[in-house]
Amino acid sequence: MNRLNEVDLTDHFVELFRRASTILPDDMRQALARAKDKEEPGSAAEGALDTILRNIEIARDNSTPICQDTGTPIFEIYYPLGVSTRKLADSIRRAAAIATDRSYLRPNAVDSLTGENSGNNTGIDFPTMHFHEWDEDKVHVDLLLKGGGCENVSTQYKLPNARLKAGRDLEGVRRVVLDAVFQAQGKGCAPGVLGVAIGGDRGQSYIKSKQQLLRPLDDSNPNPELAALEERIHQEANELGIGPMGFGGKTTVLSTKINTLHRLPASYFVSIAYMCWANRRAHMDVQLHNDAVEVSYD
Amino acid sequence: MIKLTTPISDEEIRALKAGDTVLLSGVIVTGRDTAHKFLIEHFIKNSVSAEEKPFHDELKRLFDGGVIYHCGPVVKKNDDGSWTFVAAGPTTSIREEVYQADVIRYFNLKGVIGKGGMKERTLQACVQQPAVYFHAIGGAASLIARSVKEVLAVHKLEFGVPEAMWVIRVEDFPVVVTMDSHGTSIHDTVEAQSKEKLAKLLA
């Protein structure tokens, strides 16, 4: 039995929700500020980015949600041997209800049959949680708040795709990802971030694509082929000229992150997780030090 | 910067051109997926029941020359029972495309606020009515909530907080006209231009 099981993490998860909902990561804020400087002075695109940057400040200073759609909370939880994942899940659900009560989260969990909103962000498989056991003697939590507008323009392609002349190779991947950005127009709250997964079954492929959104914007893909593709798609997506909010402009995508999974010989899926400019990710580490709980965020 | 206050006149609407930035003030009402479906099924396609008549008449009054806002806010209930908008950015409008033209015509709406733009049927209704589509900045929820000065009423709270119809008074709500009453849509223009560019990139 791991002694971390004796720690009630509920309040810490509430704080993690607060940070994710109200504080945009600094790399995102800086990328948006650079994008604003690139737009024509006085254009609708520049105005949109100016409003976005002011909103980020107001949300941070007042601990109010950056966006009213506080999204699907998606947790990636890394835990050492012997820590109860059931206990962690219970504290996350309790924390979701408290965070809703404090207006860090909008009540966002709706029963698909009755249409009834549970009122506290808990429900069937809600929040989403993925647990990973690891060797380190601490619990690490990544939280992503994935909004509905950009989720609705996220998509999956099955290659080959005749319409786009996309075969089962990286050129095919490039073609379908650019098509996804075109189809999304401004509806995913551009300028967004693209998380792309190549391979897998349909379900795992989507999960992997969303996990790419947790990567820092300035990391470099260890695979040189994928690194080159990330850079090329990033540039070409911006050449589409869709711009902030779809008003037309120079920045449509802030970053592209690609990863792969093994696939069946018969299947070749490309999943694209479109994330809005409010790429709300927060991280937490929990460990015991001389019997005292140490919690750090980021 | 153009300033407008609800109720808005036809002349004020006709003077707006796609690309104009507007600061909007006055009383507006939120409504999204469940609300639009309800308005069509209970007020527009079928006769209004006695039970719903007071709400129907109230909406008729609020929407005449008025504005509907595609928004599911984060709200806080205060100790005295009143409400405060905490975060209130726009939601994606295209989901209401099947309903919007009928709602604009039935209620004589002068404006729809949302994000992402809408399509042909709504644009036609904007030309005929006349009305315009105001694009708010998606995700700018805390900033927009500051322009909500007062929550006057809430209807259909049983739809849930995001789907309820909130009657709010706003001051200097920043929006951009992206579909005007002369048939111009920035969304159509940008889509056509980006389609051309995509074809080149995939050539």
pLDDT tens track for A179-212: 999 999 999 999 999 999 999 999 999 999 999 9
Measure in Å the smallest separation between the Cα of B183 and chain A Cα atoms: 17
Is A138 buried (19+), middle (13-18) or exposed (0-12) by CB count in 10 A?
middle
A126 and A166 belong to one structural domain: no
- B27-72 pLDDT, tens digit per residue, is 999 999 999 999 999 999 999 999 999 999 999 999 999 999 999 9
With beta carbons less than 8 A apart as the criterion, state whether A230 and A257 touch. Answer: yes
Rounded distance between C-alpha atoms, residue B164 and residue A198, angstroms: 40
Question: Quick check: is A159 in a domain?
Answer: yes
Q: Which of B174, B186, B201 sits opposite A247 (nearest CB)?
A: B186
Rounded distance between C-alpha atoms, residue A160 and residue A173, angstroms: 10
Question: Quick check: is A74 in a domain?
Answer: yes
Question: Quick check: is A184 in a domain?
Answer: yes
> B197 touching A, CB under 8 A?
yes
With beta carbons less than 8 A apart as the criterion, state whether B157 and B95 touch. Answer: no
Rounded distance between C-alpha atoms, residue B48 and residue A218, angstroms: 57
With beta carbons less than 8 A apart as the criterion, state whether B75 and B84 touch. Answer: yes
- Which residues between 223 and 282 in chain A have a beta carbon less than 8 angstroms from any beta carbon of chain B? 236, 239-243, 245-248, 276-278
According to the model, what pLDDT value does residue A266 have?
97
Q: Which of A67, A70, A241 sits opposite B197 (nearest CB)?
A: A241
- A126-142 pLDDT, tens digit per residue, is 999 999 999 999 999 99
With beta carbons less than 8 A apart as the criterion, state whether A142 and A131 touch. Answer: no
With beta carbons less than 8 A apart as the criterion, state whether A295 and A285 touch. Answer: yes
Residues 6+ apart with CB under 8 A from A296: A284, A285
Host domain of residue A120? 3-23+66-147+280-297
A169 and A244 belong to one structural domain: yes
A224 and A293 belong to one structural domain: no
Q: Which of B87, B92, B161 sits opposite A64 (nearest CB)?
A: B87
Question: Quick check: is A41 in a domain?
Answer: no
Residue B129, number of CB atoms within 10 A of its CB: 19
According to the model, what pLDDT value does residue A291 have?
84
- Token output for B87: 């975060």
- Which residues between 19 and 78 in chain B have a beta carbon less than 8 angstroms from any beta carbon of chain A? 19, 21, 34, 71-76
A7 and A143 belong to one structural domain: yes
Per the document, the length of chain B is 203
Question: Quick check: is A135 in a domain?
Answer: yes
> A126 touching B, CB under 8 A?
no
Contact between chains at A68 and B140 (C-beta distance less than 8 A)? no
Question: Quick check: is A267 in a domain?
Answer: yes
Domains of chain B: 2-201 (3.20.130.10)
A235 and A246 belong to one structural domain: yes
A209 and A293 belong to one structural domain: no
Residues 6+ apart with CB under 8 A from B163: A117, B32, B33, B34, B35, B72, B156
For β-strands B83-87 and B74-77, DSSP reports them as: antiparallel
Asked if residue A1 has pLDDT above 80, the reply is no
Distances (CA, A) of A252 to A68, A208, B2, B105: 22, 22, 27, 34
User: Coil, strand or helix: which one is A31?
Assistant: helix
Contact between chains at A278 and B146 (C-beta distance less than 8 A)? no
> To 5 degrees, how large is the angle CA A156–CA A161–CA A162?
150
Question: Quick check: is A265 in a domain?
Answer: yes
A103 and A209 belong to one structural domain: no
According to the model, what pLDDT value does residue A18 have?
98
Residues 6+ apart with CB under 8 A from A95: A9, A10, A11, A12, A13, A14, A16, A17
Distance of CA A45 to the CA centre of its chain: 23
A127 and A182 belong to one structural domain: no
According to the model, what pLDDT value does residue B156 have?
97
Question: Tokens 């399509």 — which residue?
Answer: B119
Residues 6+ apart with CB under 8 A from B98: B121
With beta carbons less than 8 A apart as the criterion, state whether B126 and B68 touch. Answer: no
According to the model, what pLDDT value does residue B1 have?
84
Contact between chains at A106 and B189 (C-beta distance less than 8 A)? no
Residues 6+ apart with CB under 8 A from A151: A71, A72, A274
A154 and A165 belong to one structural domain: yes
- B189-198 pLDDT, tens digit per residue, is 999 999 999 9
User: Coil, strand or helix: which one is A164?
Assistant: coil
- B158-177 pLDDT, tens digit per residue, is 999 999 999 999 999 999 99
The counts of H helices and E strands in chain B are 7, 9
State the total domains in chain A. Answer: 2
Helix (H) or strand (E) holding A269: strand A269-275
Rounded distance between C-alpha atoms, residue A109 and residue A122, angstroms: 6
User: Active-site residue numbers of B?
Assistant: 36
Half-sphere exposure of A188 toward its Cβ, with a 13 Å CA cutoff?
30
Question: Quick check: is A212 in a domain?
Answer: yes
Residue type, A126: F
Query: In CATH, what number is assigned to the domain containing residue A141?
Result: 3.30.1330
A81 and A166 belong to one structural domain: no
A257 and A291 belong to one structural domain: no
User: Coil, strand or helix: which one is B30?
Assistant: strand
A153 and A257 belong to one structural domain: yes
Q: Which residues of A touch B115 (CB under 8 A)?
A: 149, 186-187, 189, 245
Complex-level ipTM beyond the 0.90 threshold: yes
